[in-house]
Amino acid sequence: MKSLLTLALAALSLTACAHQTKDMYEVDEFQTKSGKTVRLHALVHSSIRIEFDGKEIEVDPCGKLGDRMIDYSAMPKADYIIITHEHYDHLDKAAIKQLSKEGTQVIMNQRSADKCGAGTVMANGDKLQLTDEITIEAVAAYNTTDGHLQFHPKGRDNGYILTLDGLRIYIAGDTEVIPEMADIKDIDIAFLPCNQPYTMTPKRLIEAARIIQPRVLFPYHYSDTDLSAIPAELPDIDVRIRHYE
């Protein structure tokens, strides 16, 4: 099975490495089908910076979380800012302002747009073609456990599938294992959340990963959750633990 996975990765040109940049954020590099580089910067919790073909994409930028601070003023301005939902650790209006320039497109769910007063609204099932090589699809993200349904009710928030020159990245947002995951196919890279009571336990994250079968998995949004058991339970998936506390 591992040899088959290696062949599949080679066929997709899905090569990658991780290193520390000068600002000390971990960076993983991947190659798209035509050999373009995608860089994923692990900032904090659910905040991801993505570089692709001269474009800057920021996911759920958050300038301060606990004692961790992200200096967005030191980063390039964003071409696209993607917001999953309106909770403070995902929607930070100050960070959005710091990252915005003329022409920045901010993509979000309706509740986030209501809070910001503007934005490109996507609902579950919507799809946008941002450029010839970049598409984004909004997918469901919600809680299913009794007593937790109020955190992320069904139909309100978004996860996203971001496709960059054929490289498919699933950013789950705040969700538990949901039936809609069975329809999420051909994912190269997945970001799955893991903290209670808001998202998944490690056991449920493993279940979600087995449904989706990404080639590379980044557990994220995990706070102080112990993730140490996850890689051994997913031997056919490249599990990468980065500083997404």
pLDDT in tens, 96-108: 999 999 999 999 9
Which pLDDT does position 217 carry in this prediction? 98
What residue segments make up the domains of the chain, in order of their start? 2-239
Tokens at residue 48, please? 């991801």
Which pLDDT does position 10 carry in this prediction? 39
Band of pLDDT at residue 20, cut at 50, 70 and 90: very low
Which pLDDT does position 11 carry in this prediction? 40
- State yes or no: pLDDT of 73 exceeds 80: yes
- State yes or no: pLDDT of 26 exceeds 60: yes
Place domain 2-239 in its CATH homologous superfamily. Ribonuclease Z/Hydroxyacylglutathione hydrolase-like (3.60.15.10)
Which pLDDT does position 1 carry in this prediction? 39
Name every residue whose Cβ is closer than 8 Å to that of residue 85 and which is 6 or more positions away in sequence.
91, 109, 111, 112, 141, 152, 156, 157, 158, 173, 174
Which pLDDT does position 239 carry in this prediction? 98
8 A C-beta contact, residue 106 and residue 100: yes
pLDDT digits (tens, 9 = 90+) for 153-181: 999 999 999 999 999 999 999 999 999 99
Q: What is the pLDDT of the chain when averaged over all its residues?
A: 90
Residue 141's closest CA among 119, 126, 160, 122?
Answer: 160
Which pLDDT does position 190 carry in this prediction? 98
Percent of the chain with pLDDT over 90: 81
| Averaged pLDDT, 200-221 | 97
- State yes or no: pLDDT of 205 exceeds 70: yes
- State yes or no: pLDDT of 6 exceeds 60: no
Which pLDDT does position 4 carry in this prediction? 36
Band of pLDDT at residue 5, cut at 50, 70 and 90: very low
- State yes or no: pLDDT of 244 exceeds 60: yes
Which pLDDT does position 15 carry in this prediction? 45
- State yes or no: pLDDT of 139 exceeds 70: yes
- State yes or no: pLDDT of 141 exceeds 70: yes
Q: Point out the least confidently predicted range of 10-24, 79-93, 113-127.
A: 10-24
pLDDT digits (tens, 9 = 90+) for 34-47: 999 999 999 999 99
- State yes or no: pLDDT of 9 exceeds 70: no
Query: In the 3-class helix/strand/coil scheme, how is 150-179 assigned residue by residue?
Result: CCCCCCCEEEEEEEECCEEEEECCCCCCCH
Which pLDDT does position 16 carry in this prediction? 45
8 A C-beta contact, residue 215 and residue 189: yes
